[in-house]
Amino acid sequence: MNAMPIMDVFRSAIWLAIILTAVITLPGLLVGLVIAVFQAATQINEQTLSFLPRLLITLLALAVTGPWLGKMIHEFTMNLLLNIPQIVG
């Protein structure tokens, strides 16, 4: 039994997980950075000032990219299910 098809499946799964998490978390990180710079410049130390915009941007990113992310998960799952005979045997 060759291990290369299994390694390809794991590589694809890890790459998909990285893309899914990056698309959702990177906008929140960028907004958090902008707000942190604003707080440092104005010396405002309010925790809710940084939390609420990051939450809203993360939810907005999830709402905007949700169909695309769902399509990616669906395509990966269908590809995995269709290739089970080649992977196992």
- Break the chain into its structural domains and give their ranges: 4-88
Residue 78 to residues 2, 22, 60, 65, Cα–Cα distance (Å):
22, 23, 27, 20
Q: How confident is the model at residue 5 (pLDDT cuts 50, 70, 90)?
A: confident
Of the candidates 28, 34, 25, the one whose C-alpha atom is nearest the C-alpha of residue 52 is 28
What is the per-residue pLDDT for 64? 96
What is the per-residue pLDDT for 1? 58
- Residues ≥6 apart with Cβ < 8 Å to 28: 54, 55, 57, 58, 61
Distance between CA atoms of residues 53 and 38, nearest Å: 13
What is the per-residue pLDDT for 44? 82
